[in-house]
Amino acid sequence: MTLSLDANVLIDLANGRQPLVRRRFDEALLGGEVLATCSLCAHELLYGAEISHRPTVQMRTATELLSQLVVAPFDVDDAAHAASVRAALKPSGRPIGQLDALIAGQALRRGWTVVTANVREFRRVEALGVIDWRAEPESP
């Protein structure tokens, strides 16, 4: 399975303030999962580093994190799938953010599962796998 990390997960990992997210990331790496992100989420992480109070440190952390992932460029086929996502959600009156639609479209096209803290929006996308690494595991 390929796990596509949303920007909020990348930021959690870069900032180190969510130990559960870090643990799940490390477990996924050790378990041989393919960890990816889209170039759009990479942009969000790098932009945040650039405008931080410690840009040199944050940029080093961000680039080190991104080096552990497959960073997939967003292409025209991804755009077509994202357009379908937005069009399918429009009649419901409950659209998702434009950037989230792009991320979801790419993940759907490529058969990826999105790892995000923004499950409420991403779960609106039919057939999209969504995981929240911030959520505590359910008891058996």
139 and 25 Cβ atoms separated by less than 8 Å? no
Backbone angles phi, psi at 98, to 5 degrees: -60, -45
Number of domains in the chain: 1
* In the chain, % of residues over pLDDT 70: 98
**Residue 19 resides in a domain:** yes
Mind listing the pLDDT tens digit for each residue in 12-58? 999 999 999 999 999 999 999 999 999 999 999 999 999 999 999 99
pTM score, two decimals?
Answer: 0.94
Q: Which domain holds residue 10?
A: 2-74+112-131
- Here the CATH number for the domain that contains residue 8 is 3.40.50.1010
Mind listing the pLDDT tens digit for each residue in 93-102? 889 999 999 9
**Residue 12 resides in a domain:** yes
Q: Which residues pair with 72 in a beta bridge?
A: 38
User: What angle is formed at CA 43 by the lines to CA 20 and CA 48, rounded to 5 degrees?
Assistant: 65
Q: Please tell me the predicted confidence (pLDDT) of residue 137.
A: 75
**Residue 69 resides in a domain:** yes
